[in-house]
Amino acid sequence: MSQNIETVLTEDRSFPPPPEFAEQANVTPEQYQQMWQRAKDDPAGFWGELAKSELDWFKPFTETMSGEMPNTKWFADGQLNACYQCVDRHLTTWRKNKAAIVWEGEPGDTRTLTYQQLHHEVCKFADVLDKLGVQAGDRITLYMPMVPELAVAMLACARVGATHSIIFGGFSADAIADRNNDAQSKLVITADAGWRRGKEIPLKANVDAALDKSPSVEKVVVLRRTGADVTMVPDRDFWWHDLMDKATPDRECTHVDAEHPLFILYTSGSTGKPKGVLHTTGGYMLGATMTTRWVFDLKDEDTYWCTADIGWITGHSYIVYGPLSNGATTVMYEGAPNWPDEGRFWNLVEKYSVNVFYTAPTAIRAFIKWGDQWPEQYDLSSLRLLGTVGEPINPEAWMWYHRVIGGEQCPIVDTWWQTETGGIMLSPLPGVTATKPGSCTTPLPGVVPAIVDEQGNELDANQGGLLVMTQPWPHMLRTLYGDHDRFVDVYFAKFDGKYYFAGDGARRDEEGNYWVMGRVDDVINVSGHRLSTMEVESALVSHEQVAEAAVVGFPHELKGEGICCFVTLKTESDASDEMKAALKQHVRTQIGALATPDQIRFAAAVPKTRSGKIMRRLLRDIAAGRESAGDTTTLEDYTVLAKLREDE
């Protein structure tokens, strides 16, 4: 990367909070200023007070913050339980019979769980976990559809002190096995299958295949969801309903230390195997609770819907832990946005009278493509606040969201954060911040970012550079599971431990708004999900006919970035359309559907530097159909480049 990143986007439109919104907002401009300054000057005082007032402690903590970044601990001698925070504590209030989860399955079946009903289910499933021999600290894999039982299983894990590792249902058997092995998971909770666009996703069959390669797993719990035929292995596999029939509903919460691991969530890095991002209980719960309240302005009367899958961090923090901790009503939908037709989301907004709606730019681009006639068929007037997450939103998509979905009435919160940050870091506060299409605007209280050059020098306004965090925050990741050295190396080594390095390029404008420009490493952002070019390359090279592969992202109309693979075959004459299809299928089998390549290009060789490094910048230009402006003086063989262009 060149020292400073060139910035080309200029966007002057600005949308101050509508006065009616600002009047009722959870945070006022004065409060924001005061909180932000206080948290910067005295993070321990700021977060310590919030942790005392907003979290329920079995044993109060005496020290808020200890240790230097990256090894900062929060509330370390305190004890609590995330499940108590999300469920039990509401039962002594009027929220006992409030809807906690409003769920709709893809076929149209519905279920609502009040806090009391959720408690009953969670206690029973916690008893099931006990009876299966689960101990505090054990890792449990959840590979489930978007059904209420997924939230029940998460909360039950938290209740007994087990650490959940949720794997998105789109991942393949090999990806499940890798994650099971890395976490040394003892138990897998899955379902027979899940619904997606009217088809059944064979979850149990994928788990069966994964278990051939993940010996740590002793038992499997299977929820009956679609009624699909599955093979049940005696003494290993158990039906959810059989176990629940025998369970008792009075399992108390285990008291865990604030630094007790709550969950591991695997995410892609620029090199090697997926990283097991580990979040702990106290800090994460405080972050999820406060950011939900500040950013989504949640009120008790609100119906709140985050459309993410719980298999990603957005679903963890903003479908389950954040909303439930706030005693909110959180909507959960199982299936695809275009099933049975492209109006499904808007039908749900109307039907449940959704007030706060949080989705991703990739979904917004799909809505735009499907046409305004779909949202126009429904009454969306219940909406009062909109949000986006996952990737930079292009200003025209922002404007469409504002106009067509928000009826020009709803503030839009463009929230920047990461699996590692646990919660939202940069975002407008809807009653405070004037929004600008394409900008995630300003840091939340407790977040002190900077834009620096490669040497760590702070850059001036409007200079593109690297986004870093200069201060620790309670909900930051604590380690990469089983590999603390990698954790230090990936996020902190670049600036000698002084800053958390996010891996994104960004600039700050003269008004202090942040504009994130995307990754600066070999991570591509496909539909708001991170994929490592290395992982896709490894998958390709594991195919017996592939000699070498280089993978880059390219701009993609719907997905944000598409996956372009340059492949050198062992035998050049094997290149054919059938081979392309076979390689796409191979990557899909190795990683999962979301990693399916968009383009395969056969190449006699890929361009490399004299030291043997693949020149990705050049490949990116070729994949995007751009003329390569960059420096090619270190290129090993110029003819390779010319050939790749000819092959387009």
Summarize as ranges the residues that interact with ligand PRX (CB under 6 A): 267, 313-314, 389-392, 414-419, 440, 502-504, 516, 518-519, 525, 529-530
Rounded to 5°, angle at Cα 293 from 289 and 298: 125
The tokens 């779909």 sit on which residue?
374
Residue 167 Cβ, how far from ligand PRX at the closest point, in Å?
14
Report, in Å, the least distance between residue 83 CB and ligand PRX: 23
Residue 315: DSSP 8-state: H
Q: Which amino acid is at 174?
A: D
All residues at 6 or more sequence positions from 272 whose CB lies less than 8 Å from its CB, including other chains: 532, 534
For ligand PRX, the closer of residues 141 and 270 by Cβ is 270
With respect to ligand PRX, which residue has the nearer C-beta, 226 or 532? 532
Nearer to ligand PRX, 100 or 526 (CB): 526
Nearest residue to 179 (alpha-carbon basis) of 219, 221, 213: 213
Neighbours of 505 (CB within 10 A): 22
Q: Which residues are CB-contacts of 419 (< 8 A; sequence separation ≥ 6)?
A: 265, 267, 277, 312, 313, 477, 530
Between 332 and 393, CB nearer to ligand PRX: 393
Residue 194 CA to residue 106 CA, distance in Å, equals 9
Nearer to ligand PRX, 325 or 532 (CB): 532
The distance of closest approach from Cβ of residue 598 to ligand PRX in the complex, given in angstroms and rounded to an integer, is 19
Distance of CA 90 to the CA centre of its chain: 27
Closest contact distance (angstroms) between CB of 222 and ligand PRX is: 28
DSSP-assigned letter for residue 486: H
Cis peptide before 428 (omega within 30 of 0): no
Question: Residue for token digits 């990698």?
Answer: 486
* Amino acid letter, residue 160: V
Nearer to ligand PRX, 64 or 421 (CB): 421
Q: Which two tokens stand for residue 53?
A: 């007032």
Count of CB atoms situated within 10 Å of the CB of 585: 13
Contacts of 547 (CB under 8 A, 6+ apart): 541, 568, 569, 570
Q: Which residue's CB is nearer to ligand PRX, number 207 or number 591?
A: 591
If the CB atoms of residues 332 and 549 are measured against ligand PRX, the closer one turns out to be: 332
CA torsion angle 513 517 523 527 (round to 10): 90
Q: How far apart are CA 507 and CA 452, in angstroms?
A: 9
Would you call 87 helix, strand, or coil by DSSP? coil
Of residues 126 and 466, the one with the C-beta less far from ligand PRX: 466
The residue number whose beta carbon is nearest to ligand PRX equals: 419
User: Which amino acid type is present at position 51?
Assistant: A
Closer to ligand PRX by CB, 335 or 392: give it: 392
Minimum Å distance from CB 515 to ligand PRX?
A: 9
Q: In the bound complex, what is the minimum distance in angstroms from residue 360's beta carbon to ligand PRX?
A: 8
Query: 251 is written with which tokens?
Result: 């399992």
Q: Between 244 and 426, whose beta carbon lies closer to ligand PRX?
A: 426
Supply 242's token pair. 């059989």
Please report, as a single letter, which amino acid is at residue 211: L
Closest CA to 24 of 301, 288, 287: 301
Report the residue number, 81 or 317, with the smaller CB distance to ligand PRX.
Answer: 317
Confirm if 281 and 256 have CB atoms less than 8 A apart.
Answer: yes
Least distance between ligand PRX and beta carbon 13 (Å): 17
CB of 468 to ligand PRX, least distance (A): 12
Nearer Cβ to ligand PRX (254/418): 418
- Looking at beta carbons only, is 186 or 559 nearer to ligand PRX? 559
From the CB of 387, what's the least distance to ligand PRX, in Å? 9
Q: Tell me the three-class secondary structure of 246-288, residue by residue.
A: CCCCCCCCCCEECCCEEEEEEECCCCCCCEEEEEEHHHHHHHH
Q: From the CB of 118, what's the least distance to ligand PRX, in Å?
A: 25
What is the closest distance, in whole angstroms, from the C-beta atom of residue 308 to ligand PRX in the complex?
Answer: 8
Q: How far is the CB of 590 from ligand PRX (least distance, A)?
A: 20
Cβ within 8 Å of residue 311, ≥6 positions away: 166, 167, 168, 169, 170, 171
Cα–Cα distance, 115 to 326 (Å, whole number): 12
CB of 393 to ligand PRX, least distance (A): 7
CA proximity to 54, closest of 474, 430, 476, 479: 474
d(CA 495, CA 505): 15
Closer of 32 and 491 to ligand PRX (Cβ): 491
Residue among 204 and 494 whose Cβ is closer to ligand PRX: 494
On the 0-12 / 13-18 / 19+ scale of CB atoms within 10 A, 610 is exposed
Shortest CB 62 distance to ligand PRX, Å: 33
Q: Is the dihedral of CA 71, 75, 79, 83 positive or negative?
A: negative
Token digits for 140? 């449990």
Number of C-beta neighbours around residue 547 at 10 A: 13
Q: What is the C-alpha separation between 165 and 521, in angstroms, rounded?
A: 25
Query: Considering the complex, what minimum distance in angstroms separates the CB of residue 420 from ligand PRX?
Result: 7
Q: How far is the CB of 317 from ligand PRX (least distance, A)?
A: 8
